Amino acid sequence: MRLRCWLSLLSLLPVTDAIRPSGQDEPIQTFVVPHSHMDVGWVYTIQESMHAYAANVYSSVTEQLSKAEERRFIAVEQEFFRLWWDTVASDAQKRQVRQLVKEGRLEFIIGGQVMHDEAVTDLDDEILQMTEGHGFLYETFGVRPQFSWHVDPFGASATTPVLFALAGFNAHLISRIDYDLKDTMQKQKKLQFVWSGSHSLKDKQQIFTHIMDQFSYCTPSHLPFSSRSGFYWNGVALFPDPPKDGVYPNMSLPVTKETVQAYAKTMVENIKQRATWFRTNHVLWPWGCDKQFYNSSVQFNNMDPLMKYINQNSKEFGVTVQYATLSEYFQAIYQSDLVWEQRESQDFLPYSTESHQAWTGFYASRNILKGVARQASSQLHAAETLFARYRISFPDGPVAKDWALDKLRALRWAVSEVQHHDGITGTESPKVADMYLQHLTQAMMGVEDLISDSFAPLANSDPQVLEQHVIVYNPLAWNITTIINMTVTFPNAAVFDDDGQPVPAQIQQSAQSNTTYDLFMVVELGGLQHRKYLIKLSEKRCSGGSECGRTYKANGVLFERRSVGHWLKTGRRLLPILNDCYKLMFDQDTNLLHSITYLEDKRQVRMTQDFWEYRANGDVKAGPISDNYIFSANGSAVRAYKAVEMEIIPGKIVTEIRQLFYRWDSDEDYAYSITTRVPECLGGRVRCQRLEQTYSLGPLQLNTEVVLRTSSSLHNNRTLYTDDNGYQMMERTYRKFTNNTIARNYFPMVREAYIEDELSRLVLVSDRAHGASSQANGQLEVMLHRRLWNNLTWNLGYNLTLNDSSVATPALWMMLGSVSATSRLHQREAIELQHRPVVIRVSRLPPVVLPPNLHLLSLSIPGWKYSSNHDLHLSRDLHSEPDYDRVLLRLMHLYEEGEEPELSKPVTLNLKDVLQGIGEVKVLEERSLTGTWDIANLQRWKWKTADNLETSENSVQGCGDFNVTISPKEIRTFFVHFASSNF
């Protein structure tokens, strides 16, 4: 992909003189790493890519590697390999692949389903897609990837290297960082370092990191003696069908006696240039680019004689070349035994390729896709925990385990696939976005079938009163009391729990329809537990007695629409909305929020919330443009509305404020809306700090990027905090630039963002990824939705103009309070938003409850074939049925070291006691993050750093007595085996 991006970058960087590294007389050792970058999506669908070239890559490479022992290849995007293996490869090809893998000549890099994005992906989903890919590779070949190749994600998070270290990786490779920073690091030979990605874990999970130089992952394509595509020789991939004669367009000049010297000179000059940017005498020379090696006989048959020629003249050239896998390159670097600089937990976000090209637009591109992907992930988490519990408790139940695992795997793979760096980012073509959505929704329907078929539906028996039996399941390992909302078609309802006791509830006219009603009900659930509720609906209001329940019927008060042009005097008529945590004041002159007082400290914060729009330029002749990837602010944002209408529905369960924003005073249809729900505490059982907000945005006008702007009296000096993949918070200090300052101060917000001063903190947690910024003191701005069109030839050619006319409906929860109070809450609130209770039908099971600072990250039955003894695993026939008895458990400590006096402490717990609600634990094995390594036998490379001559080894704690201590920000993974009587 993206030659436009790298060409624009190269035009800005100086060309270093082609000289050898100073003080080094031995030849430069060049590691030529053959690879093909195959986007799992982007412009073409997965099936189109498989048909046009991807299947040919593995068929062709397998054949060519088998012909010469010195040849190598790294396989990166594993979804294509798995599809080839399952649907294309012959038995003979599979035997060849097994031999090549055994010999180390075909190497799997990263090993996940995709090369995931790093800015807008969630921790849960990054781990999932790696676990699925690693499980397949370990079961099929017994291999465990140990290196990354993250060459194309648009910026690099500090969480990704932590996860790779936890998975057992020895080194990490990235490429896309800010153009000016890369230039500086190149000149100073600082493109390699040891990264401590987590502030709390410190050196426990350090990992050596290599940043690719200015040429990135593609072989330089410019040849001074040819107008063709450089060192690829096989031409350009063709869609929809490859040519039958094997002759592709734009094939480079072949290597012959007449051309070999010119090729060698060009290649050697490039190698020497790269060598000046690194400390060792080893050069990584990636050979490949997007959609390469589908015709690999042409590539190898030209590179073979070229490399032979260079090696025959190595004294003259000062260079040797060899085919290599990535592990061979990193092994050479490791053996150099140098002391490396250490980088702390800063990330490389946002990412810019030049002064006007800030890649911060994709944080908000395709809001709908981002939302569905997170919903699918949440549904998968709930289904995994349910199936694991069902399988342990009812091993002989009526649900076919093979069928159930197929349904779960379909959703695992759909969620994994969309984490691709041109998937969840929203940077793909419309048909590819539709493909992701189709795969997600179809797999979600399958999991819904699994849930409904697993548990017998409850019958409705009373013909006089319409009854609905509702089962509410809590997918978290915490006790919760919360409010759920259901849409019903009757105006009156009474709710009862499974003991027949009336449940507090509230019913009111829906904001979405005149024919439906919102029913709010209070639910109390243990961890991983469900309860059954009976809802009695009727047309007529109940006349009294126990059958009436405790349902409050709420009615709204509509306030006159207020025009912005008439805001002459404001703040005269303030309307209070109170619960036990807050007093919200709404201004009746504007119909906007005026202030919030958090009552614990009796501290008032002035605050307004409304919508603003950035108007994007769509003409490349008129200046910088915005597109799927890039946000180029064409001036400051403007108010997105001319009038505001408000309705307030006071309630005993929740008070709802509905604000409608109109583009024009006379509009009948609003463009934007905010619905804020203020919960009542109900005796302290429901947390009242959570102000639940949902929005409606669109359809947008063309070339519009809309933001929710929350302006407050906090003195944050434009400093913002956003999360890295939902794992850790990063401080984002406002910076000024010569150009594009607005866009370059946007940051990814995956789960949350907040601003603070010495007294107060304002937190927003989100149900999907957005972009966030603090453009002014006290301001927290969240980009929610984008609709763009431009005439850039690249975008038109690939249909990447993001003409998204959908109506987006994201949700944010807002909290306001002291820094200490919000420190206790914001991580849990973000997880509770992600994993809200779901409605299912099940048999009642005991609760499973963790301490408040631990989160049940995973409880699932992977199905992949693992073994506690790796040597035994390699000797087994791995084609037997899936393993249904091995349960994967992951626990995560939510808090940073020193973040909160009590909750930041290490936690020791007995997992046998914790899991007794599921079954009797007999064996507990601690594993690496994706399960492929026994943690006691995992020995990662120890790299010397300036601070510590050797990085410390991972701490390993025995699990024989089932007692486990989890320290701040640790993620620990276990295989759990329950008593045989359970199976």
CB under 8 Å to 736, separation ≥6 — which residues? none
Report the alpha-carbon distance of residue 646 to residue 659 in Å, rounded. 5
Report the alpha-carbon distance of residue 526 to residue 686 in Å, rounded. 14
Question: Is 717 in contact with 774 (CB distance < 8 Å)?
Answer: no
Question: Is 617 in contact with 601 (CB distance < 8 Å)?
Answer: no
Is the pTM higher than 0.75? The answer reads yes
What does the pLDDT look like over 100-145, one tens digit per residue?
999 999 999 999 999 999 999 999 999 999 999 999 999 999 999 9
From the list 746, 758, 694, the residue with the least C-alpha distance to 722 is: 746
Angle between helices 78-87 and 123-141 (to 10 degrees): 40
Distances (CA, A) of 235 to 253, 259, 291, 875: 10, 17, 10, 42
Report the alpha-carbon distance of residue 102 to residue 96 in Å, rounded. 10
**Sign of the CA dihedral with 755 first, then 756, 760, and 765 last:** positive
What does the pLDDT look like over 183-199, one tens digit per residue?
999 999 999 999 999 99
Residue 877 — pLDDT band, cuts 50, 70, 90? low
Residue 458 has pLDDT above 70, yes or no: no
Q: What are phi and psi of 588, to 5 degrees?
A: -75, -10
More confident of the two residues 668 and 592: 592
Strands (E), 514-580: 517-525, 530-538, 550-553, 557-563, 574-578
Residue 896 has pLDDT above 90, yes or no: yes
Residue 593 has pLDDT above 80, yes or no: yes
Report the alpha-carbon distance of residue 344 to residue 327 in Å, rounded. 25
Residue 799 has pLDDT above 70, yes or no: yes
Q: What class, spelled out in words, does domain 557-831 have in CATH?
A: mainly beta
Question: DSSP string spanning 677-746?
Answer: EEE--TTTTS-TT-EEEEEEE-SPPTTEEEEEEEEES---TT-EEEEETTTEEEEE-----SS-HHHHT-
Residue 451 has pLDDT above 90, yes or no: no
Residue 874 has pLDDT above 70, yes or no: yes
What does the pLDDT look like over 323-365, one tens digit per residue?
999 999 999 999 999 999 999 999 999 999 999 999 999 999 9
CATH superfamily of 28-362: Glycoside hydrolase 38, N terminal domain (3.20.110.10)
Give the residue-averaged pLDDT of 27-55.
97
Report the alpha-carbon distance of residue 275 to residue 263 in Å, rounded. 18
Residue with tokens 């709802």: 656
What confidence score (pLDDT) does residue 868 get?
80
- In percent, the amount of the chain with pLDDT more than 70 equals 92
Distances (CA, A) of 512 to 65, 197, 795: 61, 45, 36
CB under 8 Å to 189, separation ≥6 — which residues? 277, 278, 279
Side-chain-facing half-sphere of 847: CA atoms under 13 Å? 14
Report the alpha-carbon distance of residue 182 to residue 184 in Å, rounded. 5
Per DSSP, what are the bridge partners of residue 431? none
Residue 982 has pLDDT above 50, yes or no: no
Report the alpha-carbon distance of residue 194 to residue 946 in Å, rounded. 10
Q: What is the identity of the amino acid at 167?
A: A
Segments of the chain assigned to CATH 2.70.98.30 = 557-831
What confidence score (pLDDT) does residue 514 get?
86
**Sign of the CA dihedral with 773 first, then 745, 3, and 308 last:** negative
Report the alpha-carbon distance of residue 559 to residue 647 in Å, rounded. 6
Helix (H, G, I), strand (E, B) or coil at 968: coil
Per DSSP, what are the bridge partners of residue 787? 704
What confidence score (pLDDT) does residue 23 get?
42
Give the residue-averaged pLDDT of 434-457.
85
Mean pLDDT, the chain, as a whole number? 91
Distances (CA, A) of 877 to 81, 261, 645, 872, 874: 21, 50, 68, 10, 8
User: What's CA 199's distance to the chain center, in Å?
Assistant: 20
Would you call 247 exposed, middle or buried from its count of C-beta atoms within 10 A (0-12, 13-18, 19+)?
Answer: exposed
Residue 815 has pLDDT above 70, yes or no: yes
Residue 455 — pLDDT band, cuts 50, 70, 90? low
CATH superfamily of 460-551: Golgi alpha-mannosidase II (2.60.40.1180)
Segments of the chain assigned to CATH 2.60.40.1180 = 460-551
Residue 7 — pLDDT band, cuts 50, 70, 90? very low
What confidence score (pLDDT) does residue 571 get?
80
Specify the range with the lowest mean pLDDT, choosing from 714-728, 812-826, 957-971: 957-971
Segments of the chain assigned to CATH 3.20.110.10 = 28-362
What confidence score (pLDDT) does residue 461 get?
41
Residue 980 — pLDDT band, cuts 50, 70, 90? low
What confidence score (pLDDT) does residue 636 get?
94
Is it true that the peptide bond before 504 is cis, omega within 30 degrees of 0?
A: no
Residue 942 — pLDDT band, cuts 50, 70, 90? very high
Residue 397 has pLDDT above 90, yes or no: no
Report the run of H or E that residue 270 belongs to, with start and end: helix 260-275
Would you call 941 exposed, middle or buried from its count of C-beta atoms within 10 A (0-12, 13-18, 19+)?
Answer: middle
Q: 458: phi > 0 → left, psi -120 to 50 → alpha, else beta; which?
A: beta
Residue 951 has pLDDT above 70, yes or no: no
What confidence score (pLDDT) does residue 960 get?
56
Question: Is 886 in contact with 138 (CB distance < 8 Å)?
Answer: no
Give the residue-averaged pLDDT of 554-567.
93
What does the pLDDT look like over 8-39, one tens digit per residue?
333 333 333 333 443 457 899 999 999 999 99
Q: Which residues are catalytic?
A: 152
From the list 125, 116, 156, 725, the residue with the least C-alpha distance to 422 is: 116
